Chain A
């Protein structure tokens, strides 16, 4: 019996590693951020509209970075949410089993492409293509970054909304058809509303991925933090700032070292909130059709 206990204890300790990881993340982000906020007031950080930690005097307003992140996420959502949902509808409602088995690996491939590859794709393919349509577009711009992150999150929306749509019971569809509705009407009025919480959670997860996305945005969007609503200019996101600061020399204990943790904490809290709501929504539709 002692052997059984030892094995149980070892597996339990392994399972605790995940709890340790979460505690570690929170500890690291909070402890460095506390030192940061001892020097910079939270009002300046969350209210300031200029981000220039290397200037003298340095300026630590996170709004430009937040603006850049949200701009890219919204633009990416505008690409991936409608297209992903329609593709999910196609997979779940129209495609035959054979077509689906053929199409799903393509989505998996798209989802498995490393983000740095998407970044390269953005600067060498998407940006030149966009520049043909908009000749004034600078080399580094938010539009290209948003489009590429949209392509990147498209398979997430497509496969998660397919899951949600196919969880809607068949009887509901048959009921609609029996009332004389066309297939499209059944999909739009019955299946999508029936799967709404699952579909919404797919959207949220894709947006949260877009918020946390780093390499593609770093390569495509430039390094120019500013408050703007324009896609036709270069910007910087929170994650891209962390990469830029890490590439340079940021000695431990300096205020610049602490900025990446304060920015990281902001990013962490935003994505956590989005994932939390998404998980709640998924729980709701599972409950309904279980």
Chain B
């Protein structure tokens, strides 16, 4: 095409072509920035933490001496909290989603609940910490400290308070994702069940829920992995930073991995930074396991729904 060639070599068009290339290059560089940031993050953490990470680190309690300190109590606290957060968020999250998707009438209250959930998802996590401090730690202290159940020497700054706070924090995210899982179930499933004479709940219970289950599991796991990494709200409710025991009941004081990491990272000495980096490796491995599980369930969900 001789005409096209002459057109493109005209000086004005040359500039256009150059500009075109530069713009695309800028876009490419922007995405490369993201990749480099992730690589730098991983490199920085492995560089500082890999030499420090061993079995003893995982099975030791924190200590004033960096070289003998470990994450045993933090890991135990994280596991305790995960179990309790799952216990609270699974039923409440799933049932809320069922109400909003399957039962709720189209009225102002329903749209208010929906808008409210969207807003809650944008509230900074530290504000949830303030909520937990005033309600769970102070107001409900007899319950969250276990004193109402005969436990002594405990306070409201317990695993139970932390788990309740964290549950409220991840609920908006879990509910929204569970709603999407329910929405992905074809309407024909419901119609078939209703046509055979089942009630609305029976259709949900026997047709919709089984189909939506893998998708809901994905939502819950992603919510939990958010809770594992959160730090600020737990510091606000007064989780401890130095814990030399493994919690034995939900009413005990506790620390979690991110708080332990924060504690070490905020000290000036380099050996503690190595501890923080090693703790981060453990935290990231836990998160990676959770996310892999979430992805696996997502694949199952897509396959089951024929997507």
Q: Are A214 and B232 in contact, CB atoms less than 8 angstroms apart?
A: yes
Among residues 71 to 117 in chain A, which have CB atoms less than 8 Å away from a CB atom of chain B? 82-87, 89-91, 93-95, 103, 106-107, 109-110, 112-117
Chain B nearest CB, measured from A73 CB (Å): 12
Stretch at the interface among A12-20, A37-45, A57-65: A12-20
Q: Are A15 and B27 in contact, CB atoms less than 8 angstroms apart?
A: no
Task: Let me know if A28 is at the binding interface, CB within 8 A.
Answer: yes
Q: Are A18 and B125 in contact, CB atoms less than 8 angstroms apart?
A: no
Partner of A94, one of B28, B41, B129, B283: B28
Which residue of B has the minimal Cβ distance to A90?
A: B27
Partner of A125, one of B44, B200, B225, B230: B44
Given contacts A154-B37, A214-B125, A215-B231, are A124 and B258 in contact (CB under 8 A)?
A: no
Q: Are A242 and B236 in contact, CB atoms less than 8 angstroms apart?
A: yes
The answer for the CA separation of A267 and B128 in the assembled complex, in Å, is: 12
Residues of A within 8 A of B34 (CB): 83, 87, 103, 106-107, 110, 154-155, 158
Q: Are B131 and A182 in contact, CB atoms less than 8 angstroms apart?
A: no
Among A19, A107, A121, residue most surrounded by chain B Cβ atoms (within 10 Å): A121
Task: Let me know if A56 is at the binding interface, CB within 8 A.
Answer: no
Residues of B within 8 A of A154 (CB): 33-34, 37
Q: Are A268 and B96 in contact, CB atoms less than 8 angstroms apart?
A: no
Among residues 95 to 141 in chain B, which have CB atoms less than 8 Å away from a CB atom of chain A? 95-96, 98-100, 103-104, 112-113, 116-120, 122-131, 133-135, 138
Task: Let me know if A287 is at the binding interface, CB within 8 A.
Answer: no
Instruction: Give the number of A-B contacts (CB < 8 Å).
Output: 248
Chain B nearest CB, measured from A287 CB (Å): 16
Interface residues as binary, A1-34 with B (CB distance below 8 Å gives 1, 0 otherwise):
1011001101110111111011011001100100
Which residue of A has the minimal Cβ distance to B276?
A: A120
Q: Are B130 and A28 in contact, CB atoms less than 8 angstroms apart?
A: yes
Residues of A within 8 A of B134 (CB): 28, 32, 261
Task: Let me know if B151 is at the binding interface, CB within 8 A.
Answer: no
Residues of A within 8 A of B225 (CB): 112
Task: Let me know if A236 is at the binding interface, CB within 8 A.
Answer: no
Chain B nearest CB, measured from A112 CB (Å): 7
The number of residues on chain B lying at the interface, defined by a beta carbon within 8 Å of a beta carbon of chain A, is 83
Given contacts A18-B113, A211-B124, are A28 and B104 in contact (CB under 8 A)?
A: no
- Please give 13 more A-B residue pairs, beta carbons under 8 A apart, in addition to A11-B96, A83-B33, A87-B31: A4-B199, A11-B103, A14-B96, A83-B30, A86-B27, A90-B31, A106-B38, A113-B41, A117-B261, A158-B30, A215-B262, A264-B127, A272-B122
What are 23 A-B pairs with beta-carbon distances under 8 A?
A: A1-B199, A8-B99, A11-B99, A11-B103, A14-B91, A15-B96, A17-B168, A18-B96, A18-B172, A24-B131, A32-B134, A106-B35, A110-B38, A114-B231, A120-B276, A182-B20, A185-B20, A215-B232, A242-B126, A242-B129, A242-B130, A271-B124, A275-B119
State the 7 A-B residue pairs at the shortest beta-carbon distance, nearest first: A212-B124, A114-B229, A86-B30, A11-B99, A90-B27, A275-B122, A14-B95
